[in-house]
A and B are shown apart, each in its own frame.
Chain A
Amino acid sequence: MKLRTILATTSAALALAGAASAETMKIGITQNNVGVDSYQTTYEKAFIAAAEANDAVETVVLDAGGDVARQIAQVEDLIQQEVDAIIIWPTNGEAVIPAVRKAHQAGIAVIVTNSNIAEPGFDFVKSFSGPDNITQGARSAEIMCDKFKEMGVENEAKVVHITGQPGYTTAIERAKGFEDRLPEVCPNVSIVDTQPGDWNREKSQTVMEAFLVKYDDIDGVYAGDDNMGVGALNAAKAAGRDGIIFVGATNFAVGYEAMQAGDYWGSIYQSPVDDAEAALQTAIDVLKGEEVPFLNYFDTPKITQENLDEFSKPVF
């Protein structure tokens, strides 16, 4: 009886797969700059793996190498190849809009991944799949506030804020999420200074060194990503300043290790694998005609020293 059920299920699944391959979805992706950092490298691997595991899709994987002109040419190539959907990781949120409009006019579904394009282009896009950076900033504020409450310093704690590169949407959104949320949950905690660390560990370390000279009393550091957070941590360690609570975002392997060592309190777990799989799934759902929200965020949970074991160490 049991064997028969399994057999039946298997054959049903096979039949389904056969039906799907009869009308394969052709999905093209043009990425921002694979190979420049670990996140994007891992994203591409995960995307290809997810596409290969799914018989219903056929993919064309391209990379713009950070070059807007090349990305526009790639979108035009994909239009020529008559793909069903284009996933784009914009090299520049403004400059790619004309190309996106062209794809839209050619009847191709466009999905934006990871970082959104500018608002004038929203009409030509079916869905944005990516992390919600404002929520990430807000969650970092909550992580920090909860820890201050646990330590009993929520009424006097002073925080310095190291942001990503000025002008980057991700940097602006995370900073906004953090700065809006912190006064809501911990109204008496003050942000005493904000400076950019440019997503760069060394720059962040230099900024933190100046903060340590300028302020005798720093209770918390919020950094726009773990790379900068660890840079700030290195500065504090070198200056022999203990007891500072470090919270970052985009948990990197270095941040994860610093949490294991007990030096770094928390971060936001954003997996490039989830990011890539969510983008592919969004494209598939759009092509199947399913209802997909315009801002289709994938979840980026809080990670702290307390729940560290529930997450695997990031590969980047």
Chain B
Amino acid sequence: MATITRRQVGDALAQQGILIAFAVFMVAFTLANPRFLEVDNVFSVVRSSAILGIMALGVTFVVISGNLDLSVGSMMSFSTIVVLDLHDQIGPLLAIPAMFAMTLCLGALIGFLVGYLRLNSLIVTLGMLSAIHGLTLTYSGGQNMDIADKEGTWFGVFGQGFALGIPVPILIFVALAALLGLVLARTPFGRKVYAVGGNSAAATFSGIRRGRTVFVCYLLSAACVATAGLIQASRSLGSQNTVGQGLELEVLAAVILGGASLMGGSGTIFKTVIGVLILGFIQNGLLLIGLPFYVQFVVTWIIIILAVWLDIAAKRGRLWSPIA
């Protein structure tokens, strides 16, 4: 009969600190308002979080490779506006691949600048944040985009549809998370991403092509952004041209909250998903409790700090650092 030692419990806690933090918040919010865990509410939170979450999946690769991506918010506005505009011009069937191609070009450009030219990713993507926003405004002429015939299109299926009783955005999120989780954890490419982010020089001397690895990370990120834009466009069949503005920081917060290191080399897709869910459920939970919004800003921040603390404390096995 297997005995579980105290040490094993400690290790398990250390591995899943953020998961424990998540569980604590869920219980607290449910006690405050029992409706919090109703299926409808959970679906609506996860569906809203799916857009942020899908973007965070791609950014997880970029962050693990030791880089940043601040352009994902602008890029999401871009793909949303482009796919909505093309929908009315060339039909949804062509609009979707065209939008993906255009967004991937942006990702390839960033990947080239950061990966092959070795420019600082913070500067490159901060610049692209503005540049892509300008591109979107130029493309749309400052106007909002709306699909003319909202009743007569099947385009709404990605954002509003249900399959097997589950909202389609959630299914896409789960499928992509599973796929990218496998790529990161179980493929040679995934190991290269960790190696490049953990120790770039060592990776290079081991024969890993850093440039190519980083380039592919940004391509993956752009593909995720395009998917998020598709869901966004499909969900409301129309959009403001600033729809993704500011999301880059929320995405980054979710990835870091999940435990990925800003210095690169660590993090997992599963933990990013937990980070995304924590952010989504905090927002919803505070709304359900009915706190005034200005208090919500403060409480959101406190909860995030608490989560990070619980995560660190679980890794250390105690609440404060013995060598602080």
Contact = CB atoms under 8 A, between A and B. Distances in A.
> Are A and B a genuine interacting pair, yes or no?
yes
B16 interface: no
Interface residues of B, number: 31
B144 interface: yes
B48 A206 contact: yes
A35 B142 CA distance: 4
Contact of A214 (B33, B243, B283): B33
B169 to A, nearest CB: 12
A210 interface: yes
B44 interface: yes
A254 B238 contact: yes
A135 B22 CA distance: 45
B240 A201 contact: yes
Interface stretch (B59-67, B193-201, B252-260, B284-292): B284-292
B142 A40 contact: yes
B294 interface: yes
Contacts of A257: 146
Contacts of A38: 142-144
Interface string B30-47: 000101001011001000
Contacts, number: 84
Given A37-B142, A202-B236, A252-B144, A214 B48 contact: no
A209 B290 CA distance: 13
* Size bin of chain A's contact surface: 20 to 34
Interface string B131-145: 000000110011110
Interface in B158-206: 160
A213 interface: yes
Interface stretch (A47-55, A81-89, A107-115, A192-200): A192-200
B103 interface: no
B242 interface: yes
A232 B283 CA distance: 17
A209 B44 contact: yes
A158 B46 CA distance: 28
B142 A209 contact: no
A311 to B, nearest CB: 18
A213 B293 contact: no
Contact of B35 (A34, A195, A214, A254): A214
A205 interface: yes
Contacts of B241: 36-37
A231 interface: yes
Contacts of A253: 144, 146
Contacts of B239: 201-202
Given A36-B137, A206-B283, A213-B44, A41 B236 contact: no
Contact of A195 (B142, B144, B243, B293): B293
Contact of A166 (B35, B38, B243, B294): B294
20 contacts: A35-B137, A35-B138, A37-B142, A37-B240, A37-B241, A41-B142, A200-B243, A201-B236, A201-B239, A201-B240, A201-B243, A202-B239, A202-B243, A209-B48, A210-B288, A211-B287, A238-B160, A253-B144, A254-B146, A254-B238
Interface of A: 34-38, 40-41, 166, 193, 195-196, 200-202, 205-207, 209-211, 213-214, 227, 230-231, 234, 238-239, 252-254, 257, 316
10 cross-chain pairs, A with B, having the tightest CB-CB distances, nearest first: A41-B142, A210-B287, A35-B142, A209-B44, A213-B41, A38-B143, A206-B48, A35-B137, A196-B293, A214-B288
